[in-house]
Structure 1
Amino acid sequence: MISIIFVALNEEACIAQTIQSLKSRLTFPHEIIVSDGHSDDRTVEIAEKYADKVVRHRGTRRQTIAQGRNAGARAATGDFLVFMDADSRIPDPDPLFTRALAQFKAHPDLVALTARLRVYPADETLADRLMFGILNFNLRLMNNLFHRGESTGEFQMMPRRAFNAVGGFREDLVTREDADMFLRLSRIGRTRLDPGMTVYHSARRAHRLGWPRLLCTWMLNTLWVLLFDHARAREWEVVR
């Protein structure tokens, strides 16, 4: 079974469509889990209507994305874990997961897969196409050629045994927890970006902040993690 885990915080505007778009098209045995980070809107109410499981953060301090992902994984029962963002969509999930599972079966040393990223066609700008084209190329080089794990959080699929082997996501990282996960996984096996698999998302952070500011934020946090083993940001800014 495939466990698909969405981390959510105040996602009432998109969570229903995200879940329904998967449930209505996916015929594989699966469960959809929403790990909520203490939303103060209708996210939990909506998720409980459509998801198979809803995990709620009860703490008083805001949890990191990594904590939310790990909480979802603890509730999961599938042999494969798929971590996605609440605004990520797979237009045709059956062929994508058929392809993904075939790769895991054919390559026992494969410990994680990610996909090519695109912005929703109705919202995609020329800058989006350029920047995500560069990002996809870089991720393909890092994973497939240099064998150094690197990934964003829109789509990460891995066997549960691999997730457990590296101890899950690093909960102390405010950001870059997704890239760190793939880096650690690449030390115990192979990670890969499959260019034949495409996942769509909103690019809302790039559209709200602008690409120059977002790129600067990404680069600074990457540098801080590499140099100091923690993100520069103390808390990841919520953009909805």
Structure 2
Amino acid sequence: MKKKASVIIPTLNEEKLVERLLKQFNGDFRKKYEIELIVSDGGSDDNTIAICDRYADKVVTKDNNRSQNISQGRNEGARQSQGDVLIFLNADVTIDDPDHLISKSVEAIREKKCSAIACRVEVHEAERKFSDVLFHGFYNRYVSFLNKVYIGMGRGECHIMSREAFDKAGGYNEKLAAGEDFDLYNRLRKTGKVEYRNDFLVYESPRRYRKYGYARIILDWNKNAYSVFFLNRSISKSWDPVR
């Protein structure tokens, strides 16, 4: 039976965190909303694949030894999927209200109220510091503003779009090591409305902020975003994973 939506999770050595997200999409939940759960693995050498095999409808693995960036992983997951709505989630996130996010996003996309949706991203209160509150409070408003002025933007932690819009936009740019989220959403806005939904909340791991600090991360994000926007290439040649 064709599914209404496909949830696609790219992974690379995510044994520490991915299971908590996978558990939010148990069999009963997937059946209720007619969704499939696909994991697209980039070459994990830990227990990630074994964990994902217990939960996912399909685990897509690489067939070569070449490194794979997150854009390639997402695109491969999309190729293996069948849903009319594509929901890309990073492996380190959890959803605040899965029923609300899935039901309302599928409804909005299938009824063509928009082509794509950007979500609010925060750090969960159990791990949250004051710096997290300041940064995410500002950045969520920034993402909302960009979409209001027709500059498409969506944090890579959660991307939601119609398959039609994804195909028209050409999917993720696999040549970009960073800024691929901004790049895709800027192209998606040309296919239709990109809507920012403050009521769609996902929690991300603060692991990168804890390792590098907000100053460096903001600088890296902005350099890559402006380079992608004006030059169609990222400044960063690679985006090192933090586990």
In the superposition, the TM-score normalised over structure 2's length comes to 0.93
Does residue 37 (structure 1) correspond to residue 67 (structure 2)? The answer is no
**1:134 CA displacement:** 0.8
Q: What do residues 32-59 of structure 1 show as CA deviations (whole Å, max 9, x unaligned)?
A: 1110000111111111111111011222
Output aligned runs, 1:108-119, within 5 Å.
Answer: 108=112, 110-119=114-123
Equivalent residue letter for 2:98:
P
**1:25 CA displacement:** 7.4
201, 218, 228: which is aligned to 2:221? 218
Greater CA drift, 217-226 or 70-79: 217-226
Counterpart CA distance in 1 for 2:27 and 2:38 is 15
Does residue 200 (structure 1) correspond to residue 193 (structure 2)? The answer is no
**1:114 CA displacement:** 1.6
54, 68, 72: which is aligned to 2:73? 68
**1:67 CA displacement:** 0.4
Counterpart CA distance in 2 for 1:30 and 1:53 is 12
Give yes or no for contact 1:151–1:178 (8 Å, CA) kept in 2: yes
Give the structure 2 partner of residue 237 of structure 1: 240
20, 23, 34: which is aligned to 2:23? 20
Counterpart CA distance in 1 for 2:81 and 2:124 is 28
Give the structure 2 partner of residue 140 of structure 1: 144
Give yes or no for contact 1:25–1:92 (8 Å, CA) kept in 2: no
Equivalent residue letter for 1:43:
T
In the superposition, the TM-score normalised over structure 1's length comes to 0.94
Give yes or no for contact 1:117–1:136 (8 Å, CA) kept in 2: yes
128, 149, 152: which is aligned to 2:132? 128
**1:119 CA displacement:** 0.7
Equivalent residue letter for 2:67:
R
178, 181, 184: which is aligned to 1:178? 181
Counterpart CA distance in 2 for 1:52 and 1:42 is 17
**1:166 CA displacement:** 1.2
What residue ranges of structure 1 are gaps of 5+ in the alignment? none
Give yes or no for contact 1:83–1:156 (8 Å, CA) kept in 2: yes
**1:110 CA displacement:** 1.1
What residue ranges of structure 2 are gaps of 5+ in the alignment? none
Counting aligned pairs with the same residue, the percent is 35
CA RMSD of the aligned region, Å? 1.5
Q: What do residues 145-202 of structure 1 show as CA deviations (whole Å, max 9, x unaligned)?
A: 2122011111111111111111111111111111111100101211011111111111
Counterpart CA distance in 1 for 2:226 and 2:47 is 36
Give yes or no for contact 2:122–2:203 (8 Å, CA) kept in 1: yes
Give yes or no for contact 2:119–2:155 (8 Å, CA) kept in 1: no
**1:83 CA displacement:** 0.5
Counterpart CA distance in 1 for 2:34 and 2:127 is 32
**1:214 CA displacement:** 1.0
Counterpart CA distance in 2 for 1:102 and 1:72 is 22
Equivalent residue letter for 2:153:
E
Give yes or no for contact 2:21–2:91 (8 Å, CA) kept in 1: yes
Does residue 155 (structure 1) correspond to residue 158 (structure 2)? The answer is yes
Equivalent residue letter for 1:116:
R
Give the paired residue count.
Answer: 238
Give the 3-state SS of the residue equivalent to 1:98 in structure 2: helix
Q: What do residues 86-144 of structure 1 show as CA deviations (whole Å, max 9, x unaligned)?
A: 011113211222222333355x261100211111211111111111111110111111x
67, 74, 82: which is aligned to 1:77? 82
Give the 3-state SS of the residue equivalent to 1:110 in structure 2: coil
Greater CA drift, 15-24 or 122-131: 15-24
Give the 3-state SS of the residue equivalent to 1:10 in structure 2: coil
Give yes or no for contact 1:37–1:57 (8 Å, CA) kept in 2: yes
Give the 3-state SS of the residue equivalent to 1:50 in structure 2: coil
Q: What do residues 194-225 of structure 1 show as CA deviations (whole Å, max 9, x unaligned)?
A: 11111111121111111111112112222322
Give yes or no for contact 1:109–1:189 (8 Å, CA) kept in 2: no
Q: 1:210 to 1:24 in 2, by over 3 A?
A: farther
